[in-house]
A and B are shown apart, each in its own frame.
Chain A
Amino acid sequence: MAALDVAGVSHSYGPKRALNDVSFSIAPATFTVLLGLNGAGKTTLFSLISHLYDTRGGSIRIFGHDVSRASGEALRRVGIVFQARTLDLDLSVHQNLSYHAALHGIGGREARQRIAALLDIVDMQGRQHDKARSLSGGQIRRIEIARALLHRPSLLLLDEATVGLDIQSRAGILATIRKLVETEGIGVLWATHLIDEVEDGDHVVVLRQGELVAKGKVADVVRTSGAGSIRDAFSRLSRIETAGIAEISP
């Protein structure tokens, strides 16, 4: 069963088409990069997957659960790191994480244990009583990742999670997420426009102006697009008119 199955999804903002018949799926325990320039439709797609917007055209399933019809069951299986910072800056790290745990029905000792363990994972142990306001951008992102993992999701969505961070923080966050894929078997959809975050073994989905222009393993996308590297392939797929979707089997 696919961790995420996006089938024929379209979405419009009034007359402006943001997504047009987008279809792809993500297998469990894989790292998939959703590539696209600003305005490609990445955030709209995230809003649809997380049921912030209703899916009007097509369907989205998370481990078989339709996001529109069984949103509760679908959302229990997904952890989300939004592009915008979503920590409550007036509250401490622990209070922020406890709040999120409560929103997933996790309370008391169990919540405390999970928070302590996850702060270890994101290398923020000992900071749980700090106010979120006192943290740096990179630290806030780490806490948001810990928060997204609190309810033990099987699928993790990260929307431009490293934007605005320094190189070291970016590398650290990326390494942590990749390790989660390996050790915990979490499926990851990593949205970015930063091509250097893609590795050879990754799967990629490329969006351009709401259209899906390529999907598959990095090597296959590079080969099909006739480019010499994923950087060139992304550049071609994003800026040059392409004739149809480069279909690559995973």
Chain B
Amino acid sequence: MSAPAMPEKVAGIIPVKFEKFGLRHYLICLKGLVLRECLRFLHQRERFISSLVRPLIWLFIFAAGFRQVLGVSIIPPYKTYVLYEVYITPGLCGMILLFSGMQSSLSMVYDREMGNMRTLLVSPFPRWFLLVSKMLAGVSVSIAQVYAFLIVAWFWGVKAPPIGYLMVLPALFLSGMMLCALGMLLSSMIKQLENFAGIMNFVIFPGYFASPALYPLWRIQEASPLLYKICLANPFTYAVELIRFAFYGQINWLSLGVVAGCTLLFLAAAIIAYDPSRGLMTRKQDTGGNA
């Protein structure tokens, strides 16, 4: 490589007077992070297809098989008997958000192992802003996946009231933020990519099955009071119910409160965990880990 003369347009790097970051700069940074996440998602077609296929298998095969076995009585927000496919659709939306949130955790671990994470962490923007922006980027991609699933489900005959598709957006957003924040927190604890299998076994599967995603809570209570209590302690339960009620233009206030509270809790913990002076990343320094 030769050393060409510096073009006039970049000459004068020194001295530079840095203007204070304003709202415009923060928005540019946010846009950059969202765009990168979208581009990565689009470049990884297998990820897009698998994210869509997973809930569709549950809808097309599992729901069809269990429709006759699992009767669903009239429970809020439903005003009449609904098909099992209709019942599990909010849970499948939650499933997409859950897997996507954990996938973003996986990508954080991958980025950290590959070194890409460093480029993010040496940005001059506050670290809390970078992490929140990264979460927003992840949630944007998750919500796009949910709507792609809902379109296919609509053609399969699973239809919510038209207004429900709009009303569910804030519920998806908040639930997605909670799950992404949890994923981010977990990513700060995982040292190597290989450990992600543990997340599948200890977070995703228990979180998904110990919730009303596939069967109503009253049925779980009848089957096992202990499991019922576990379901009540599971934040994913409230994310599913928040989404379910939102499809019918209703707000489940308890679910809203729990999901909002857990989002703040997980987010605060993730920000602390990624703080070089206080968090878990600091403890990794002690063992010679990379930040």
Q: Name A residues whose Cβ lies closer than 8 Å to a Cβ of B.
A: 11-14, 16, 28-29, 47, 50-54, 68, 71-78, 80, 82, 84-88, 90-91, 95, 98-108, 113-114, 117-118, 120-123, 138, 142, 147, 149, 152-154, 168-169, 171-173, 175-176, 178-180, 183-186
Contacts and interface: CB of A to CB of B under 8 A. Distances in A.
Interface of B: 1-7, 9-16, 18, 21, 24-26, 28-29, 31-33, 35-36, 39-40, 43-44, 114-116, 118-126, 130, 276-277, 282, 285-288, 291
A30 B115 CA distance: 28
Contacts, number: 171
19 contacts: A14-B286, A14-B288, A29-B14, A52-B118, A53-B285, A72-B125, A80-B122, A90-B43, A91-B40, A95-B39, A98-B35, A99-B119, A100-B119, A101-B32, A122-B1, A168-B1, A171-B1, A183-B5, A186-B14
A168 B3 CA distance: 12
Which 10 residue pairs of A and B lie closest in terms of their CB atoms, listed nearest first?
A: A102-B32, A172-B1, A105-B25, A84-B115, A107-B28, A185-B14, A54-B277, A103-B123, A175-B3, A52-B291
Given A105-B125, A152-B16, A52 B276 contact: yes
Residue of A72, A100, A121, A173 contacting most chain B CB atoms (<10 Å) = A72
Contacts of A173: 1
Contacts of A121: 4, 6-7, 10
B31 A123 contact: no
A29 B13 CA distance: 11
Contact of A13 (B2, B116, B126, B287): B287
Contacts of B124: 71-76, 104
A190 to B, nearest CB: 15
Given A103-B29, A107-B31, A117 B4 contact: no
